[in-house]
Amino acid sequence: MAVSSLFSETYLGSTIPEYLLFFSVLLLGGVLGRSLSFFYERRLRQTAEATKTEVDDIILYALGRPVVLLGIVFGALAGQRILAPAEPLRTVLNASVEIPVVLTVAWIAVRLTDGFIDTYLVEYVERTETKLDDELVPIVSRITNIAIVSVAGVVILDSLGYDVTAVIASLGVAGVAIAFASRKTMADIFGGAHILTTKPFLIDDTVDVDGTTGTVESIGLRTTRIRDFDGRLVTLPNSTIANAEVRNISSEPTRRVKAFLGLSYDTAPTEMDAAIDLATETVNSVDGVDTEQTGAWFWDYGESSMKIRLEYHVDDLDRWKEVRSTVNREIQRAFRDAGFEMAFPTRTVRVEQGGENGAVAVQGGAEGD
């Protein structure tokens, strides 16, 4: 009689056999979920790997482990119909069902987004030369996961009876405070995103950023490092680069060189014509010069010389310094062999004698280019 009354007595609205049956259904749901997970891992995965598309692989990856929790959730939903709980057990049971459902959906969403990011976004960034997008991928994944977990947390708090509006307002105020405190960091991050999307330069490009000229060594999330021609490493914030005038020197197909050759005023017009032709022919004879863009002109009357403006383009950018040096040496040699006198800065001094006392007046003037 005592045992019979023990099993027939209700506790918080349900009897002991009903509780035992509830936990049995819950256990059955867990076993069912684990079985489905095993089936996913062993059977469906082989089928998915045989297909060309990767979407089914991502879905199977997302549902793999959460399936166990889904089985428990469905077991709880089925077992809840067995009980007739009284308060506060009813509230606890409702929450114990709603919370696993929210956690399961959030877990699946996190694994689903991670699968798409790892499959498609990572494959894309591996094909690019910049390292910036490699650093952005984990940040994008982390921010996405935080957003999913935050939404799930708000839903769980609402199911527990908390004032969600107050919680969201508190998070909003905290977010504004954090954003204000880290506005410089965020500006650099957005500057890095600007470099990633517009691609004004890539790794190993030679650039000029507001007077800083050198080779780009790395493009980070917040900063870009440039090795200048003195061998020093210059670190520039990405926000500065985003707002600066950037000249990508490596993007030029050729490098223009401008020079002025000075001939003395004793040079005859025919000799000037010959000198212009000789300068053009000499430049075009040097390997590494784009012969289609070479030009020379009688440009100006200087203080001590008549100037020839010479312009040419070096198409071998890896040897542009060597090519320029070779051009200068060849022009010097050609002009010397042709007998052209290269002018140099001079000073003229005129001495005048006169006056009652035979005073000497000296006048001088500097002449030079």
The overall average pLDDT reported for the chain is 76
Contact 262/307 with Cβ under 8 angstroms?
yes
**CA 236 to CA 212: how far, in whole Å?**
9
Q: Which residue has the higher pLDDT, 63 or 113?
A: 113
Q: What's the pLDDT at 336?
A: 92
Q: What is the amino acid identity at position 291?
A: T
Which is nearest to 40 in space by CA: 61, 55, 54? 61
Look at 123-127, 202-206, 227-231 and tell me which has the smallest mean pLDDT: 123-127
**Token duo for residue 241:** 């680069």
Of the segments 93-107, 108-122, 126-140, 143-157, which one has the largest average pLDDT value?
143-157
Q: Which residue has the higher pLDDT, 181 or 255?
A: 255
Q: Give the orientation angle of helix 164-181 with respect to helix 132-159, to 10 degrees.
A: 160
Q: Which residue has the higher pLDDT, 346 or 209?
A: 209
**CA 75 to CA 25: how far, in whole Å?**
6
pLDDT one-digit tens code per residue, 177-198: 655 555 677 787 778 778 877 8
Tell me if 200-251 shares its fold with 255-346: no
Q: Does residue 86 surpass a pLDDT of 60?
A: no
Q: How far are the Cα atoms of 52, 265, 268, 280 from residue 275, in angstroms, in the given order? A: 70, 13, 10, 9
Q: What is the amino acid identity at position 14?
A: S
User: What is the C-alpha R_g of the chain?
Assistant: 41
Residue 286 — very low, low, confident or very high, per pLDDT cuts 50/70/90?
A: very high
Share of the chain above pLDDT 70, in %: 60
CATH of domain 200-251: 2.30.30.60
Q: Would you call 266 helix, strand, or coil by DSSP?
A: coil
- The residue assigned the tokens 């052209």 is 340
Look at 108-122, 271-285, 292-306 and tell me which has the smallest mean pLDDT: 108-122
**CA 261 to CA 332: how far, in whole Å?**
10
Mean pLDDT of 331-347: 84
Q: What is the amino acid identity at position 101?
A: V
Q: What's the pLDDT at 1?
A: 45
Q: Would you call 127 helix, strand, or coil by DSSP?
A: coil
Mean pLDDT of 47-76: 66
Q: At 117, phi and psi to the nearest 5?
A: -65, -45
Look at 16-25, 127-136, 240-249, 319-328 and tell me which has the smallest mean pLDDT: 127-136
Q: Give the orientation angle of helix 66-80 with respect to helix 16-39, to 10 degrees.
A: 150
Under CATH, which architecture does the 255-346 domain have?
A: 2-Layer Sandwich (3.30)
**CA 349 to CA 366: how far, in whole Å?**
9
Mean pLDDT of 259-285: 93
Residue 128 — very low, low, confident or very high, per pLDDT cuts 50/70/90?
A: low
Which is nearest to 63 in space by CA: 44, 39, 37? 37
**Token duo for residue 77:** 């939903």
Q: Which residue has the higher pLDDT, 86 or 30?
A: 30
Mean pLDDT of 63-73: 68
Strands (DSSP E) found in 10-93: 10-11, 14-15
Mean pLDDT of 196-218: 86
**CA 26 to CA 29: how far, in whole Å?**
5
**CA 156 to CA 366: how far, in whole Å?**
89
Q: Would you call 44 helix, strand, or coil by DSSP?
A: helix
Q: At 268, phi and psi to the nearest 5?
A: -80, 160
Q: Decide the pairing of beta strands 255-263 and 246-248.
A: unpaired
Look at 106-115, 122-131, 182-191 and tell me which has the smallest mean pLDDT: 122-131
Q: What's the pLDDT at 160?
A: 73
**CA 279 to CA 282: how far, in whole Å?**
5
**CA 344 to CA 238: how far, in whole Å?**
48
Q: Does residue 309 surpass a pLDDT of 80?
A: yes
260: left (phi over 0), alpha (psi -120 to 50) or beta: beta
DSSP 319: G
Of the segments 38-47, 115-124, 162-171, 211-220, which one has the largest average pLDDT value?
211-220
Share of the chain above pLDDT 90, in %: 21
pTM: predicted TM-score of the whole model, two decimal places: 0.47
Q: What's the pLDDT at 176?
A: 62
Domain residue ranges in the chain: 2-180, 200-251, 255-346
Strands (DSSP E) found in 67-127: none
Q: Does residue 101 surpass a pLDDT of 50?
A: yes
193: left (phi over 0), alpha (psi -120 to 50) or beta: alpha
Q: Which residue has the higher pLDDT, 128 or 111?
A: 111
Look at 288-297, 327-336, 360-369 and tell me which has the smallest mean pLDDT: 360-369
Q: What's the pLDDT at 369?
A: 45
Q: Does residue 366 surpass a pLDDT of 70?
A: no
Q: Does residue 367 surpass a pLDDT of 50?
A: no
**DSSP letters spanning 151-209:** HHHHHHHHHTT--HHHHHHHHHHHHHHHHHHTHHHHHHHHHHHHHHHH-S--TT-EEEE
**Token duo for residue 26:** 């819950």
175 CB-near residues (< 8 Å, 6+ apart): none
Mean pLDDT of 139-167: 78
